[in-house]
């Protein structure tokens, strides 16, 4: 075999080998990409045991917060085990389970302060300190921890309407894990992770609907009152009204929707509970659907907040009067409607009963329009005029 023929044969074999390699990688989905997926290099946590997390500990320079998974629900330790809102907790865990790296950041430990990634107890200022979120199992053993650093702001390419340069928006955050010195930029800001207990508690509250009677009990018995009505659309009447007492419907119209949109801000515990007693005014309310509420409130502070406590009971209609000419189909339908309605009422009662035994911080607007003396609910008498048709406001001076 000649030299030229040998060279040509080597070239042909090389080409065939290259083509075979291309087909091999194409058919297998690409060897490099498979290796990356196998080692999970695109995620902050290779494996995040989302179902094993039973405790979340948040630490910053400003303080600490602990969330624990109780027998029935998540609770906030700093609020004496009051139920937490599970939605943001579950949402945070899902984000961490699928938290992808947008960009690795090459930076030395001496530069951690620039990205707010220094341990809270070691940081010289709040701007340098990280917020550390530690996840533990049911035995309080550490599973993972995430250090939250500076929020990354992206330019929007337009002037800031408030001045001061170009407009920006929050687009991510610098983070690191507790087991690594590697810093990453991720696409989540985690702006809802805070050490404020009031931001984590379950703020589901009671709601009063279709008021039948409303009564106020205060320290002055002569100024107490009770309003009643027979139907949902009817006006109130003043129970035990005297001959000279006429109820002003304009002044009591707000009573019909009392506590229909009640919201709470926080739960009082410890020393704050001792200083905020709901011992000022009590409202007793009954509704057309069978609920009975006893709502007590205390004194209002300078921030227009006051303490509130609630007791609730219910007695619902479990049977209905059948019509004389009801068909079997109508009876079945009406019985089902009653059963469904009764189930909803009992569910509402059970949820609101869980509020008993606590004292809540609420905004005073909830009761500002209904804390009134008896005399303030009545029609005001018009001033008497003299025989000449004028009102004398000073000796010799009259108004027409």
Both 115 and 183 in a single domain? yes
Instruction: With H, G, I as helix, E, B as strand and everything else as coil, classify residue 253.
Output: helix
Q: What is the pLDDT of residue 26?
A: 35
Same domain, residue pair 103 and 228: no
Based on the fold, state whether residues 73 and 173 are members of the same structural domain: yes
Least confident range of 11-20, 127-136, 371-380: 11-20
pLDDT mean over 361-382: 92
- Percent of the chain topping pLDDT 70: 84
Q: Does some domain include residue 392? A: no
List C-alpha distances in Å: 176 to 10, 136, 223, 326, 350: 52, 17, 63, 70, 44
The tally of domains found in the chain comes to 2
359 and 224, same structural domain?
Answer: yes
Please report the pLDDT score of residue 10 as a whole number. 53
The string of DSSP codes covering 183-209 is EEEES---TT--S-GGGTB--------
3-state class percentages of the chain: helix first, strand second, coil last, to nearest 5: 30, 30, 40
231 and 310 assigned to the same domain:
yes
- The answer to whether residue 30 sits within a structural domain is no
User: Does 182 share its domain with 227?
Assistant: no
| DSSP string covering 34-60 | HHHHHHTTTBSSS---GGG--EEEEEE
Q: For residue 10, what are its two tokens?
A: 């080597």
Residues 179 and 293 reside in one and the same domain: no
What mean pLDDT, rounded, does the chain reach?
86
Instruction: Answer yes or no: do 116 and 237 share one domain.
Output: no
Mean pLDDT of 332-337: 90
pTM of the complete model beyond 0.85:
no
Question: Per the structure block, which two tokens stand in for 351?
Answer: 């949820």
Q: Based on the domain organization, do 176 and 246 belong to the same domain? A: no
Is 248 inside any structural domain?
yes
Q: How confident is the model at residue 28 (pLDDT cuts 50, 70, 90)?
A: very low
**Structural domain ending residue among the three candidates 153, 171, 199:** 199
Q: Is residue 333 assigned to a domain?
A: no
Residue 16 falls inside a structural domain: no
Question: What band does 270 get if pLDDT is binned at 50, 70 and 90?
Answer: very high
pLDDT tens-place string over residues 203-229: 999 999 999 999 999 988 899 999 999
Distances (CA, A) of 381 to 45, 244, 246, 302, 376: 75, 10, 10, 34, 12
Q: What percent of the chain shows pLDDT beyond 90? A: 69
Tokens of 163: 């001045």
The string of pLDDT tens digits covering residues 34-77 is: 222 333 458 999 899 999 999 999 999 999 999 999 888 999 99
Domain end residue (candidates: 160, 179, 199): 199
Largest Cα span, the chain: 144
Does 4 fall in a domain?
A: no
pLDDT at 160 over 90: no
Say how far apart CA 66 and CA 197 lie, in whole Å.
9
Q: Does the structure show a pLDDT above 50 at 31? A: no
Q: Residue length, the chain?
A: 400
Regarding whether 222 and 163 lie in a shared domain, the answer is: no
Burial annotation 251-272 (CB, 10 A radius, 16+ → b, else e): ebeebbebbeebebebbbbeee
Q: Which domain holds residue 262?
A: 211-319+339-377
43 in any annotated domain: no
Q: In what order do the strands lie in the sheet with 82-83?
A: 82-83, 74-76, 63-69, 55-60, 131-136, 142-159, 166-177, 183-186, 101-105
Q: Are 166 and 258 in the same domain?
A: no
398 domain residue, yes or no: no
Q: Are residues 183 and 84 both part of a single domain?
A: yes
Distance CA 303, CA 387 (A): 51
pLDDT recorded at residue 98: 92
33-47, 94-108, 179-193, 242-256: least confident range = 33-47
Tens digits of residue pLDDT in 277-317: 999 999 999 999 999 999 999 999 999 999 999 999 999 98
Q: Considering 174, 199, 224, which residue would you say is the last residue of a domain?
A: 199
């Amino acid at each position: 075999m000649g030299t030229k023929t040998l060279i040509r044969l080597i070239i042909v074999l090389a080409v065939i080998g290259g083509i075979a390699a291309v087909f091999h990688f194409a058919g297998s989905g690409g060897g490099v990409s498979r290796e990356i997926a196998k080692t999970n290099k695109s995620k902050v946590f290779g494996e995040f045991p989302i179902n094993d997390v039973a405790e979340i500990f948040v630490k910053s320079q400003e303080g600490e917060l602990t969330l624990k998974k109780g027998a029935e629900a998540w609770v906030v330790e700093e609020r004496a085990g009051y139920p937490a809102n599970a939605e943001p907790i579950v949402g945070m865990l899902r984000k961490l389970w699928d938290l992808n790296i947008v960009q690795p950041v090459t930076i030395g430990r001496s530069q951690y302060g620039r990205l707010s990634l220094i341990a809270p107890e070691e940081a010289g200022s709040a701007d340098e300190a990280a917020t550390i979120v530690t996840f533990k199992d049911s035995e309080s053993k550490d599973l993972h921890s995430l250090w939250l650093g500076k929020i990354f702001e992206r330019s929007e390419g337009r002037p800031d309407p408030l001045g001061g340069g170009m407009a920006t928006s929050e687009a991510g955050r610098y983070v690191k894990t507790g087991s690594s010195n590697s810093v990453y930029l991720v696409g989540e800001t985690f702006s809802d992770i805070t050490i404020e207990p009031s931001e984590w508690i379950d703020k589901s509250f009671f709601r009063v609907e279709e008021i039948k009677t409303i009564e106020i009990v205060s320290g002055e018995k002569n100024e107490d009152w009770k309003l009643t009505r027979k139907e949902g659309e009817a006006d109130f009447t003043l129970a035990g009204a005297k001959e000279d007492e006429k109820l002003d419907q304009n002044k009591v119209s707000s009573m019909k929707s009392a506590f229909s949109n009640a919201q709470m801000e926080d739960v009082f515990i410890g020393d704050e509970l001792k200083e905020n007693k709901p011992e000022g005014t009590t409202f007793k309310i009954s509704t057309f659907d069978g609920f009975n509420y006893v709502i007590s409130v205390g004194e209002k502070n300078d921030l227009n907040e006051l303490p509130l406590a609630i007791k609730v009971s219910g007695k619902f209609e479990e049977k209905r009067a059948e019509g004389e000419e009801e068909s079997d189909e109508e009876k079945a339908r009406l019985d089902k409607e009653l059963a469904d309605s009764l189930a909803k009422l009992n569910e509402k009662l059970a949820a609101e009963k869980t509020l008993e035994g606590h004292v809540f911080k609420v905004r005073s607007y909830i009761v500002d329009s209904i804390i009134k003396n008896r005399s303030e609910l009545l029609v005001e008498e018009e001033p008497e005029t003299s025989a000449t048709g004028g009102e004398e406001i000073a000796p010799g001076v009259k108004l027409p």
